[in-house]
A and B are shown apart, each in its own frame.
Chain A
Amino acid sequence: MSPLLNHDVIRAIRQWFDPTDVDEVGTAPDYRFSLANERTFLAWVRTGLALIGGGLAVAAFVPPLRWPHVREVITVSLLLLGAAVALRAVDHWARCERAMRLGRPLPRSRFPAILALVIGAGAVALLVVVLVSGLRT
C-alpha cells in the first residue's frame, strides 16, 4: 500500500485543498478561464452524481435478476464509478488551474475515453443479461 500513498499523491491531495498553493504559483489567468475551469469541474461532479443516482435507482427499481448478486454488483460499480469521477474531477481542476497560471498547456487526460469505454461495455453487458434472462423465462 505504501507505494500508492507516496509523497506525490499526498502533495496532490494537499493541492486540492490548499488554495494558496494553487493561487500563488505563476500569474493569475483571465478570471473567465478560471470560472470556465470551475464549470467544467462542476459538470464532472454532476456526472458523478448521476452515476451515484443511477446506482441507487438500480437498487431501488430493478427486480432481482436470475443470477444472484448481479444487481448488487451493478449498483456498487455505479456508486464507486461516481466517486472516482468526482475525485478525478477535482484533481483535473487543480492541475488545469496550475497549468493556466504557469502558462503551460492544459493537462491531457485519457479519463473521458476510459469512462466512455467502461460505460459502453457495461451497457452491452447489461443488454446481454437482460436478453438472456428474458429468453429463458
Chain B
Amino acid sequence: MSTGHPPPPGLSAERTRLSWRRTTLAATAVALLAVSAAIVDRPTPLGLAAAALLAWAWLAILVIAHRRIGALGRGVTATAGRWPAVLAFLVTAYAVLATILIMTADA
C-alpha cells in the first residue's frame, strides 16, 4: 500500500464497475436456481408466471448494471441516482416471485 498518496481515481470507478458485475453474476445464479425450480417442481400456471416475471427482473438487473458500468467506464463520477433503489426493488421482486413459485409448487 502507498503511504499518504490517495489511490489513482480510476481505480475507485473500476472497483465499483466490478462490484456491479459481481452483482449481476449473483443475480444470474439466483435466477438459474429459480428457473430450475420452475422446471423440476412441476409448477402451477401461477408458479410459471412467477418464474417468467423473475426472468424479466433478471433482465432488468442486467440492463441497469450495464448502464451504470457504461457510465463509470466513461468516467462519469455522478452518484448512482435512482438505480440503487430500482435494484433493491428488483431483488425484492425476486424474493416475492420465488416465494410464489415455491409455495404454489408444493400444493
Contact = CB atoms under 8 A, between A and B. Distances in A.
Interface of A: 16-19, 22-23, 31-32, 34-36, 38-39, 41-43, 45-46, 48-50, 52-53, 55-57, 59-60, 72, 75-76, 79-80, 82-83, 86-87, 89-90, 93-94, 97
Contacts of B55: none
Interface of A is mostly: helix
Contacts of A32: 6, 9, 12
Interface of B is mostly: helix
Nearest to A60: B37
Contacts of A38: 16, 19, 79-80, 84
27 contacts: A16-B88, A17-B82, A19-B79, A39-B19, A41-B80, A42-B16, A42-B22, A45-B88, A46-B26, A48-B95, A49-B26, A49-B91, A52-B94, A52-B95, A55-B98, A60-B37, A60-B40, A72-B106, A76-B99, A76-B102, A80-B95, A86-B92, A89-B88, A90-B85, A90-B87, A90-B88, A93-B84
* CB-CB nearest 9 A-B residue pairs: A83-B95, A19-B81, A90-B88, A16-B85, A86-B91, A31-B77, A56-B33, A49-B26, A53-B30
